[in-house]
Amino acid sequence: MAFIPHTESDVAAMLAAIGAQSIEDLFDEIPPQLRIKSLAGIPEALNEMAVGRLMSERAASDGTLLNFIGAGAYEHHIPAAVWAITTRGEFYSAYTPYQAEASQGTLQLIYEFQSMMTRLTGMQVANASMYDGASASAEAALMAVRANRRSRAARILVPSTLHPHYRRVATATTHNQGLAFEELPYCSAAGTILPDSLARFAGQDLTALIIQQPNFFGRLEEVDALTDWAHAQGALVIAVVNPTALALLKPPGEWGTRGADIAVGEGQPLGVPLSSGGPYFGFMTTRLEHVRQMPGRIVGRTLDVAGKSGFTLTLQAREQHIRRAKATSNICTNQGLLMTAATIYLSLMGPQGLTRTAAASHARTRELIAALTRVPGVRAAFTGAHFHEAVLSLDRPVAPLLRALAARGIAGGLDLAPYYPELGPALLVCATETKTAADIERYRATLAELMTAARAA
């Protein structure tokens, strides 16, 4: 119980050394009226066997649905080696690498992670990760305000095709710091931002433009035109990108003439399981000139006193434990374990494996759309290329269909009614390399049966 090793004789000897009669004496500075009377609301302890059984029963009761949901969290194959190594005690139970000499494993791993993320995004520097893609996007907005000296306005243009939860997190995180977000509408035929719709902002003081690629609908934005327009207005460009897609798509560092200024995103697709939403990790990369405005931990390579190469946390003067009230952020963590998993994943996948994963996910989603749009009452909502998810328009409400699909063991996608009611009944679906032709056919057949039954009713 509580993993406490002390025997009675240990306790007696220790109390004698302290000069106290009992453990209770050690709490004598605490006013007695503050002591807990009872913790009746906490159940009795379970031993490990009982806890194991409890958790296994609960997991079994949840079961596993055949998953066709994307919407910011993507199911990909994770090699067994990734978590076998990540859960080694030396990584799992290590602390933040403040004592560099005792943490070279973690520090070198972060350096390798930073190196891989800059290559993936085409940017110049990366930090050691942030909580998730949504908070990384919010931090990018704050960073753009600090970095864009020419702009006084703290105004950020945000496409309505940016993940709805990311927009809400950005508002919740930044509204006490005076940022203003303006939403850009999307074209109802294309499901993307029309560069022409930006015209009304021309000549105004804009701090940054956020561009998500692929966007929340899975569609591909015209990133070059958008980037050049933003730069011509004196605004910085914040790219919010999917890391798997970057194996096939032009990286933010190469968008437009100058490239994006900050590139962030959700790193979960890189070796991190879906796990009901977390823990995930956000990545943040930028141009070298903005490195001092970037929040979060950064690892640098240096030499020790004997001239040997080693790794250490650097640029810490920006961080909370030194700058306190003037810190770039209050962030005190990086998602260490997840970043570790991602680094191992990227090493096992390499350029070929990641490219094949991206290509297979794109291909399976095309097949999924082709199959599902053969079902009467289902059509694609938008024209144009997408990466690995797409919106389907249905001729009847989505929610009851999703319930029925779940009862048949299928998680059919995300109902967009709460987020984009103007689309009418709409379903966001995704298929990755994990889906086979048989999986897709099972979905198609089940949906066809359910919709026929609904139509007859």
Partner 1 sequence: MSNIPADLKYTKSHEWVRTLADGGVEIGISDHAQHALGDLVFVEVPEVGRTLKAGEACAVVESVKAASDVYAPLAGEVSAANEALAAAPESVNKDPYGAGWLLRLKLAPGALAAAQLLSAAAYRELLEAEGG
Partner 2 sequence: MSFTVSEPVIFEYSSAGRGASDQWPAAEPQAALADLPEALRRRAPPALPEVGELEAVRHFTRLSQLNFSIDTHFYPLGSCTMKYNPKACNQYAMLPQFLARHPLAPESHGQGVLGCLYELQEMLKEVTGMQGVALSPMAGAHGEFAGVAMIRAYHRARGDEARNEIIVPEAAHGTNPATATMCGCVVREVPVDAAGDVDLAALAAAVGPQTAGIMLTNPSTLGVFERRIEAVARVVHEAGGLLYYDGANLNAILGKVRPGDMGFDVIHMNLHKTFSTPHGGGGPGAGAVGVGARLLPFLPVPLVGKEGERYRWLTEADLPQSIGRLSAFMGNTGVLLRAYIYMRLLGRDGMRRVGEYATLNANYLLKRLMAAGFDAAYPQRRASHEFIVTLKRQARELNVTAMDFAKRLLDYGFHAPTTYFPLLVPECLLIEPTETESREVLDAFVAAMSQIQREAEQEPGRVTSAPHTMPVRRLDDVRAARQLDLTWKPTPPP
Query: Least distance in Å: CB of 322 to partner 1?
Result: 6
Q: Which of partner 1, partner 2, none lies near 36, with the C-beta cut-off 5 to 8 A by kind? A: partner 2
**Does 385 help bind partner 1 (rule: CB under 8 A)?**
no
Query: Least distance in Å: CB of 124 to partner 1?
Result: 17
The nearer residue to partner 1, 142 or 414, going by C-beta atoms, is 142
| Count of Cβ atoms closer than 10 Å to residue 152 Cβ | 10
**Does 332 help bind partner 1 (rule: CB under 8 A)?**
no
Non-local CB neighbours of 319 within 8 Å, separated by 6+ positions: 295, 297, 327, 328, 331, 332
Q: What token pair was written down for 90?
A: 């030396």
**Residue 230 in contact with residue 176, Cβ under 8 Å?**
no
Applying CB under 8 A, the site for partner 1 has a residue count of 9
**Does 308 help bind partner 1 (rule: CB under 8 A)?**
no
**Does 326 help bind partner 1 (rule: CB under 8 A)?**
yes
C-alpha dist (Å) from residue 186 to 123, 192, 230: 27, 5, 17
The nearer residue to partner 1, 35 or 326, going by C-beta atoms, is 326
Q: Which of partner 2, partner 1, none lies near 160, with the C-beta cut-off 5 to 8 A by kind? A: none
| Count of Cβ atoms closer than 10 Å to residue 141 Cβ | 25
181 has which bridge partners?
156
CA distance 148 to 157: 14
C-alpha dist (Å) from residue 122 to 100, 262, 286: 29, 11, 9
**Does 323 help bind partner 1 (rule: CB under 8 A)?**
yes
Non-local CB neighbours of 295 within 8 Å, separated by 6+ positions: 127, 130, 139, 142, 143, 284, 318, 319, 328, 329, 331
**Does 18 help bind partner 1 (rule: CB under 8 A)?**
no
Q: Which of partner 2, partner 1, none lies near 232, with the C-beta cut-off 5 to 8 A by kind? A: none
Which of helix, strand or coil describes residue 208? Answer: strand
Query: Least distance in Å: CB of 319 to partner 1?
Result: 9
Q: Which of partner 1, partner 2, none lies near 149, with the C-beta cut-off 5 to 8 A by kind? A: partner 1
Query: Least distance in Å: CB of 130 to partner 1?
Result: 21
**Does 434 help bind partner 1 (rule: CB under 8 A)?**
no
Q: Which of partner 2, partner 1, none lies near 353, with the C-beta cut-off 5 to 8 A by kind? A: partner 2
The nearer residue to partner 2, 201 or 284, going by C-beta atoms, is 284
Cα distance between the two ends of the chain: 57
Judged by CB under 8 A, the stretch of 1-9, 238-246, 321-329, 422-430 that binds partner 1 is 321-329
What residues from 263 to 302 belong to the interface with partner 1 (CB under 8 A)? 292
Query: Least distance in Å: CB of 193 to partner 2?
Result: 14
Nearest to 218 by CA among 238, 253, 244, 257: 244
Backbone angles phi, psi at 237, to 5 degrees: -110, 125
CA distance 112 to 126: 10
Q: What token pair was written down for 322?
A: 């030194």
CA distance 440 to 419: 26
CA distance 418 to 415: 7
Query: Least distance in Å: CB of 126 to partner 1?
Result: 19
CA distance 389 to 428: 7
The nearer residue to partner 2, 105 or 424, going by C-beta atoms, is 105
C-alpha dist (Å) from residue 405 to 275, 447, 456: 21, 7, 17
Which of helix, strand or coil describes residue 273? Answer: coil
Query: Least distance in Å: CB of 153 to partner 1?
Result: 18
Q: What token pair was written down for 280?
A: 């995930």
Nearest to 260 by CA among 399, 403, 121: 121
CA distance 371 to 366: 9
**Does 370 help bind partner 1 (rule: CB under 8 A)?**
no
Q: Which of partner 1, partner 2, none lies near 438, with the C-beta cut-off 5 to 8 A by kind? A: none
**Does 322 help bind partner 1 (rule: CB under 8 A)?**
yes
The nearer residue to partner 2, 353 or 424, going by C-beta atoms, is 353
Backbone angles phi, psi at 378, to 5 degrees: -125, 125
Q: Which of partner 2, partner 1, none lies near 318, with the C-beta cut-off 5 to 8 A by kind? A: partner 1
Question: Pattern 215-244, binding to partner 1, x per CB under 8 A?
Answer: ------------------------------
Please pick, from the candidates 35, 149, 200, 308, the single residue that binds partner 1 as defined by CB under 8 A.
Answer: 149
The nearer residue to partner 2, 252 or 425, going by C-beta atoms, is 252
Judged by CB under 8 A, the stretch of 96-104, 246-254, 309-317, 432-440 that binds partner 1 is 309-317
The nearer residue to partner 1, 124 or 316, going by C-beta atoms, is 316
- Which residues of the chain form contacts with partner 1 (CB under 8 A)? 149, 292, 314, 316-318, 322-323, 326
